[in-house]
Amino acid sequence: MKEFENQLFLKPVTEVIKNRISIRSYKPKMLTEELKENIITFMENLSGPFSAKVRFKFVDSNILLENNQIKLGTYGMIRGASSFIVSAVENAEMNLEELGYEFEKLILYAHSLGLGTCWLGGTFKKGEFSKAMNLNSDELLPTVSPIGYPNENKNFFDSLVRLAAGSKNRKNFEDIFFNKNFETPLSEESAGIYKTALNMVRLAPSASNKQPWRIVKDDTQFHFYLDHAKGYSDNLGFDMQRIDIGIALCHFDLTAKEMGLEGSFIKRVPSIKPLNENTEYIISWTE
């Protein structure tokens, strides 16, 4: 697995994270066979920190329509894409966090190859994608992503969606990271050698740009919390924001490893008063 993961680091992961944006308009051409094979190989060898099993599948919408009469759709949110990565995860503990971690690693790898992607949660035709995935009865299909060559001619549609999503707006460092408890904001200076890893969490994508992660630093331990947007996932059948936390965990973990900061995830609820009634402890990273 190490051989495949190292492909991500042909560029520094911090550079990949900083430069990656969601792409909604694509050139109408297929990936080269070499790129497709690279993506599939990386995809098939993905792993994350938790035990839930995640499945990924590379699908071509034109082939599916011709051979299986399956018509993939994204309610007009994506233009020009003919290839998608579909994900499914078993019903298990930390399953959505695992999905977020693994899928984000794949998305960052795709970006490092010059390809475009876009996280899609509630804006795709789930029934058709479930058929394409041959979804099992004990699996969820929470998210998919188009994958292809970005359309370099930015249009009004792309600009409007990006503006509506507020993708460029990020919460302040001291608003989401804390020192020892939720009463004490963490400054970048106090974050020390972990400042870069935390800033990569700040840049992580999230559903509707809610940025629901809250992290408490306790020396060399980092306690990850989810600050739920009340009612946000009520109509989805799963908690989308747990996937967001998985994405944040991926950014922190990959950056820490690149910097030589080895650590592991452990579930050990700290004796910290929650930020509010909607704040839920998820996991801790410890050196």
Burial label for 8, CB within 10 Å (0-12, 13-18, 19+), is buried
Please provide the CATH number assigned to the domain covering 2-162. Answer: 3.40.109.10
Q: Is the pLDDT reported for residue 161 higher than 60?
A: yes
In this predicted model, what pLDDT tens digit does every residue of 197-215 receive, in sequence order? 999 999 999 999 999 999 9
Provide the token pair at 68. 């299986």
Confidence band (pLDDT; 50, 70, 90) for 6?
very low
**Span 60-91, pLDDT tens digits:** 987 776 667 777 878 678 998 999 999 999 99
Closest CA to 239 of 264, 210, 218: 210
Averaged confidence pLDDT in the chain: 90
- List, in sequence order, every residue forming a beta bridge with 145; answer none if it has no partner: 85
Comparing 17-21, 37-41, 164-168, 186-190, which segment has the lowest mean pLDDT? 164-168
Pairing of strands 83-90, 144-148: antiparallel
Give the separation between CA 4 and CA 11, rounded to whole angstroms: 14
Same fold, 2-162 and 169-286: yes
Question: Tokens 């789930």 — which residue?
Answer: 126
Mean pLDDT of 133-154: 91
63: tokens are 């082939």
Question: What residues are paired with 88 via a beta bridge?
Answer: 55
Answer yes or no: is pLDDT of 102 > 70: yes
Instruction: Name the fold adopted by 169-286.
Output: NADH Oxidase (3.40.109)
What integer pLDDT is reported at residue 253 of this predicted model?
97
Give domain limits for the chain: 2-162, 169-286
